[in-house]
Structure 1
């Protein structure tokens, strides 16, 4: 069952988020320390109005436990959603250039899939596909023409998955020292 995420899902969602975004997690948290990074991500997950808030996520639940999640938002809101994280970086990051390297992954004209991950035990069971379709449905329901995401260029398996579902590369970017392909797919708007 896919449902909106809740603050109580953090114990399952945050490790999946870390797995999905890797080094970007340290950039977002302003620390290279794994435990501190997980604490910061969990704190922001519980708070509304930021990029990694539970408000921007859905989970697939099996037997009462989240086994996968998708995190997404309107690309035009990325600046406002990043401001709480940037404020933290300005006040505590050891690296004064961290704010300048903060990733701008989404474009204003798209509904952006920030992260998608499935627990190892549930991979290969269609969870990722269901979450991706739910994300696309949300994009259409909110009146967007484009669903978008980035995929690390070295992640051939994920790229093949997105291509098989109609996503096409339309650009490249660097995030946290890694090369990513920006991919988009048109979605049909739904009448509100």
Structure 2
């Protein structure tokens, strides 16, 4: 596992799209998948926004990136969302869909995905372990992630790992359950 670099943009953003789906369209202000990917890749290469490489760790195998996680503290959200809100306003889009996904006291797992060819091999668990270790190393006593209510398999994994539901959130037309866990991470 290593920190992402701007050069990882194309592969990570494609994986990210599999994790966030319609949220990518809300953030980019377009329903066109190719354009949404282009916009997110541009933001990934930049600093100080929610999809920036600064918040991403990648997992490699066979000489290529096959998984990633993106995480940041909830207190950073206003600053990290500002570039998306400003872009949406500049293109005449609606920024009202860009809402805080975590609370100010939570270390937030924004997204995590594994290449389809490598799913089922424990890489998602390794990434989740890395997220929890990072929260511990940074001294964050509370972590949070969202799970689509339709994704029962992921929800069961999170519950087995000690996450518990803490409300729900409507994002880009989908209902997500907030799943929280309190340290220590062990």
Please, what TM-score do these two structures have when normalized by structure 1?
Answer: 0.94
Distance (whole Å) between structure 2 residues aligned to residue 12 and residue 162 of structure 1? 25
Distance (whole Å) between structure 2 residues aligned to residue 63 and residue 7 of structure 1? 20
Distance (whole Å) between structure 1 residues aligned to residue 153 and residue 137 of structure 2? 29
Q: Post-superposition shift, 1:103?
A: 2.5
Unaligned 5+ segments in structure 2 are: none
Distance (whole Å) between structure 1 residues aligned to residue 64 and residue 97 of structure 2? 35
Distance (whole Å) between structure 2 residues aligned to residue 187 and residue 15 of structure 1? 32
Q: Post-superposition shift, 1:188?
A: 2.2
Q: Report the counterpart of residue 2 of structure 2 in structure 1.
A: 3
Contact 2:74–2:108 under 8 Å retained in 1:
yes
Unaligned 5+ segments in structure 1 are: none
Contact 1:143–1:189 under 8 Å retained in 2:
no
Q: Report the counterpart of residue 117 of structure 2 in structure 1.
A: 121
Q: Post-superposition shift, 1:189?
A: 7.4
Distance (whole Å) between structure 1 residues aligned to residue 13 and residue 97 of structure 2? 22
Q: Post-superposition shift, 1:8?
A: 1.2
Given the alignment of the two structures, is residue 99 of structure 1 paired with residue 100 of structure 2, yes or no?
A: no
Distance (whole Å) between structure 1 residues aligned to residue 89 and residue 153 of structure 2? 36
RMSD, aligned α-carbons: 1.3
Distance (whole Å) between structure 1 residues aligned to residue 59 and residue 183 of structure 2? 22
Q: Report the counterpart of residue 43 of structure 1 in structure 2.
A: 42
Contact 2:132–2:185 under 8 Å retained in 1:
no
Q: Post-superposition shift, 1:122?
A: 0.6
Please, what TM-score do these two structures have when normalized by structure 2?
Answer: 0.96
Contact 1:58–1:70 under 8 Å retained in 2:
yes
